[in-house]
Amino acid sequence: MRILIYTHSWYPFVSGITHRYTQIIEQLKCDNNIVLMTPYDSPEYDGITTIRIPGCEIPSVFLNPGDKRESRIGDPSHYFQIFNTILKTCIDYKIDIIHGSGPDGIQLLLKSVSIAYNIPLVMMYHTNMVAYCRDNPIARDVGIIAQQFASITAPPDLLVLPSKAYYDDLITDNIIPQYQPYYIIPLCVDQSIFYKTEPTKSTQWTPNKTRLLYVGRIEIEKSIDTIVKTMDDSMCLCVVGQGNDKERLSAMGKDVRFIGLVNSSELRYWYSSCDIFVMPSGTETLGFVTLEAMACGAPICAYNAGGTTEIIEHNYNGLLFDNSTQLKQHIRNLVNDVRFARQMSTNGLDFVKNKTISNSVNGLFRQYKKLVKSTI
C-alpha cells in the first residue's frame, strides 16, 4: 500500500505524537511505500520518502502564559503551495490512503485532495486542545471554533483517537458530530526497549529519600508543580525531559533534579530505579510514558483524567489522584506498604504484556485496508 502521512510533530521535536508516528512507520515501512510530509527542516528518515513543507511556530494565541513551543505547524500563509505539494505527491506516488495529524488546518487541504482523487482520508487527533487551553479562554474558544469548522467542512473518512476518553471529550465539547466514524487505536508500548532492569540509576536521587520520577516535556500544562507541592523533606524528584518550566519549578525550593533528555534505550534504567513514577498531567489523551514506566515495573501514581484512566485501574495497576493531598497519601501508602507497591508493579507488568506495537499498528492497518477497499 502507498501511504501519505502528514504530521506536524517530528524530529528533532520529541513528543508522544512523534513516538506514535515512529511506531507506525517502523511497523509498516518494510511492506508498504510511505511518504512522510512535515514542516520540519530536516525530516529525513531511513526507509521512507520525506517531503518538507513550509512551517511556522504555533501562534501565541494557542499558548498558555509562559509557554514557548518548539513544535511547528504548516504555515497558513503558504497553504496554496502546500496544497499543490500534497496534490503532486498523491499523483506522483499513486497514493492509496492519506493519514493526517490533527487537529490542524492542513486537514482542509488533505480533504480537498482526498475528494478530488477519491483517496480515503484518515485523521489522527492527539492533543485535547480544550483541556490544554483550560487556563487560556481565548485560545480555548479559538481552538474549539477551528476544530468545529474542520470537522464540518473537512470530515475524514475515519477519525483515529488514542483513547475513548478523548472521543467523549470531543463529543461533549461539540467538536465532532456523533455520526463521525472513529477508531480507538489499541494501547501499545515497545517492550523490546522498556522492561524491568536493575536499579542502576538509583544513585541519581538524594540518598535515603523516596525516589519520585517524572518523564516528559517540562511545560506548564504538564502540571509538574503538583508533584513539587506534594513533596516533603523525605522525597526527591528526578525530572527527565526538557522544556520551559524548569526555572519556576526550581524556585519552589524542593529537592528536584533536572536530568535533561535521555535516549529511549536509557529510559528503562530510570523507570526501574525509581520508587514511584508520577504522571501529574490532566491533558493526556493517552500517556506513553505511563505505559513505559509500567512496563519497567514502576509503581504508578497518575492524575485521574483523560486517557490515563484507560491505562490505570485504581488500586490494581496504579493509583489515581484528584489533588495534591491524595497524591501525598498515595506516596505514603506505597512507601509504607512494600507488599502493596510490589503488587501494583506486578499487576502493571501483567497489564502491558499484550500491549505490543505490532498489535496496535496492525489494527490501524486493517482500517486502512477497509477504507481503500471501499473506494474500489
| Interval 317-376: pLDDT, tens | 999 999 999 999 999 999 999 999 999 999 999 999 999 999 999 999 999 999 999 987
Q: What's the predicted TM-score (pTM) here?
A: 0.90
Rounded average pLDDT over 256-265: 93
Set of cell numbers at residue 351: 497489564
- Separation of alpha carbons 332 and 326, rounded Å: 10
User: DSSP letter at 263?
Assistant: -
Is pLDDT above 60 for 61?
no
The values of phi and psi at residue 215, to 5°, are -130, 130
Instruction: Identify the pLDDT of residue 104.
Output: 81
Rounded average pLDDT over 208-221: 94
- Pairing status of strand 182-184 against strand 256-260: unpaired
The fold of 202-352 is Rossmann fold (3.40.50)
- N-to-C CA span, the chain: 14
What is the 3-state secondary structure of 145-205?
HHHHHHHHHCCCCEEEECCHHHHHHHHHCCCCCCCCCEEECCCCCCCCCCCCCCCCCHHHC
Is pLDDT above 60 for 68?
no
Q: What is the DSSP string of 60-113?
A: GGGSPTT-----EEE-GGGHHHHHHHHHHHHHHTT-SEEEEEES-THHHHHHHH
The distance of Cα 3 from the centroid of its chain, to the nearest Å, equals: 22
Domain 2-188+356-375 has CATH 3.40.50.970: no
The band of 7, judged by pLDDT with boundaries at 50, 70 and 90, is very high
Q: pLDDT tens-digit profile of 128-137? A: 777 766 667 7
Span of 53-62, 167-176, 201-210 with lowest mean pLDDT: 53-62
Set of cell numbers at residue 126: 492527539
Exposed/middle/buried for residue 265 (C-beta within 10 Å: 0-12, 13-18, 19+)? exposed
CB atoms within 10 A of CB 278: 28
Q: pLDDT tens-digit profile of 23-54? A: 999 999 999 999 999 998 767 899 999 999 99
- Separation of alpha carbons 368 and 323, rounded Å: 41
Residues of the chain with CATH 3.40.50.2000: 2-188+356-375, 202-352
Instruction: Identify the pLDDT of residue 44.
Output: 85
Instruction: Identify the pLDDT of residue 132.
Output: 66
Of 268, 266, 260, give the one whose Cα is nearest residue 241: 260
Set of cell numbers at residue 237: 524528584
Residues 6+ apart with CB under 8 A from 371: 97, 120, 122, 157, 158
What DSSP element (H or E) covers 214? Answer: strand 210-215
User: DSSP letter at 320?
Assistant: E
Residues 6+ apart with CB under 8 A from 364: 24, 160, 183, 185
Q: pLDDT tens-digit profile of 77-91? A: 999 999 999 999 999
- Separation of alpha carbons 59 and 183, rounded Å: 30
